């Protein structure tokens, strides 16, 4: 809702009311979506698609001048990345060691949502660290984040939408079809062949869908659980983790992952719209090979 209010007041955006309506509808869905009738939620999703199709526009106001940004970059150097590192480090700390901590009988983090709560706290800590480092106010940080979201636009929702699409595919039986297809093509009793099918399938399906969250339920239901876990005795937790990493290798190599590979090229005004992908292929392929080796040697009991 903050994005909607601030977007409506951004006079530098000629489509500020469209932008405000988009974020307001999305905010309402997050706040009270579970209490709304399914028909209303469906209509809201259609409205989001129509608004995105019209174009949300971009504001032209600068929170910080370009000259000050350049000066800060020269002064702080790589220290500017330190606040961003707070987010994954603190989230990992909560997920591994602090999730069950209690103080006076009260849990610090909710039992079923400890990682999500830890992520939220980590973002606040990162904001505080960034303000301390740059000597800027929290309001500047919030406004800068709004401008970044405006620049990304509707593509910021792609991970959420693609994860939902993956669940729909899994519920519609696509996973079973994948399982039958793979069983007919590869020898099921060959552990290496099944590992290759799962890891390469995660990468390939991610390239098609644009996000590993969409590929994961389909490939895991079709290959991971029936063939690797149930038939070959693989550990489900480690298999899922490495399987997701294999999918992320596909994310690095596809234009379908627009929010990762196409939007940054547009923001950086690169001459080659696929320049980000070309630079990432050299990392993605060796990393995929490492994931295959890890999967083969680690996940089996």
Predicted confidence band at 59 (pLDDT cuts at 50, 70, 90)? Answer: low
Distance CA 88, CA 110 (A): 19
Question: Residue 113, SS3?
Answer: coil
The pLDDT value recorded for residue 105 is: 78
The pLDDT value recorded for residue 289 is: 97
**Which neighbouring-strand residues pair with 107?**
102
pLDDT above 90 (res 203): yes
Helix-helix angle 138-152:114-134, to 10 degrees: 110
**Which neighbouring-strand residues pair with 234?**
300
Q: How does pLDDT run across 38-51, given as a tens digit for each residue?
A: 899 889 989 988 98
Residues 6+ apart with CB under 8 A from 201: 178, 182, 215, 219, 222, 223
Query: What mean pLDDT do residues 109-132 have?
Result: 88
The pLDDT value recorded for residue 178 is: 79
Task: Please state, as a whole number, how many other Cβ atoms lie within 10 Å of the Cβ of residue 159.
Answer: 18
Torsional sign, CA 18, 19, 22, 25: negative
Q: How does pLDDT run across 225-245, given as a tens digit for each residue?
A: 999 999 999 999 899 999 999
Nearest Cα to Cα of residue 143 among 297, 6, 9, 29: 6
pLDDT above 80 (res 187): yes
> Quick check: pTM over 0.75?
no
Torsion of CA 28, 48, 54, 161, to 10 degrees: 130
Predicted confidence band at 61 (pLDDT cuts at 50, 70, 90)? Answer: low
Q: How does pLDDT run across 77-119, given as a tens digit for each residue?
A: 888 889 999 999 999 898 888 888 878 778 888 777 888 888 9
Planar angle of CA 215, 299, 241, nearest 5 degrees: 40
The pLDDT value recorded for residue 234 is: 92
């Amino acid at each position: 809702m903050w994005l909607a209010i601030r977007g409506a007041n951004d006079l530098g955006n000629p489509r500020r009311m469209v932008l405000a309506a988009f974020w307001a509808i999305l905010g309402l869905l997050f706040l009270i979506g579970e209490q709304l009738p399914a028909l209303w939620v469906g209509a809201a999703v259609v409205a989001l698609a129509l608004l995105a199709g019209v174009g949300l526009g971009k504001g032209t106001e600068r929170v910080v001048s370009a000259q000050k940004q350049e000066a800060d970059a020269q002064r702080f150097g790589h220290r500017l990345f330190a606040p961003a590192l707070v987010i994954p480090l603190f989230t990992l700390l909560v997920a591994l060691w602090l999730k069950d901590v209690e103080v006076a009988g009260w849990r610090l983090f909710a039992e079923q949502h400890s990682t999500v709560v830890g992520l939220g706290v980590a973002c606040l800590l990162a904001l505080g660290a960034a303000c301390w480092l740059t000597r800027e106010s929290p309001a500047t940080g919030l406004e800068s984040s709004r401008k970044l979201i405006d620049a990304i636009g509707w593509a910021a929702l792609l991970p959420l939408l693609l994860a939902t699409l993956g669940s729909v595919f899994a519920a519609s039986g696509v996973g079973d079809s994948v399982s039958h297809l793979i069983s007919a093509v590869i020898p099921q009793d060959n552990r290496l062949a099944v590992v290759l099918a799962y890891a390469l399938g995660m990468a390939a399906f991610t390239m098609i869908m644009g996000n590993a969250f969409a590929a994961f339920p389909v490939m895991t239901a079709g290959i991971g659980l029936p063939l690797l876990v149930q038939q070959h005795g693989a550990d489900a937790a480690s298999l899922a983790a490495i399987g997701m990493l294999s999918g992320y290798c596909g994310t690095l190599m596809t234009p379908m992952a627009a929010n990762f590979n196409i939007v940054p090229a547009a923001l950086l005004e690169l001459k080659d719209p696929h320049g980000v992908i070309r630079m990432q292929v050299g990392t993605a392929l060796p990393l995929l090979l490492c994931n295959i080796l890890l999967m083969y040697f680690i996940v089996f009991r």
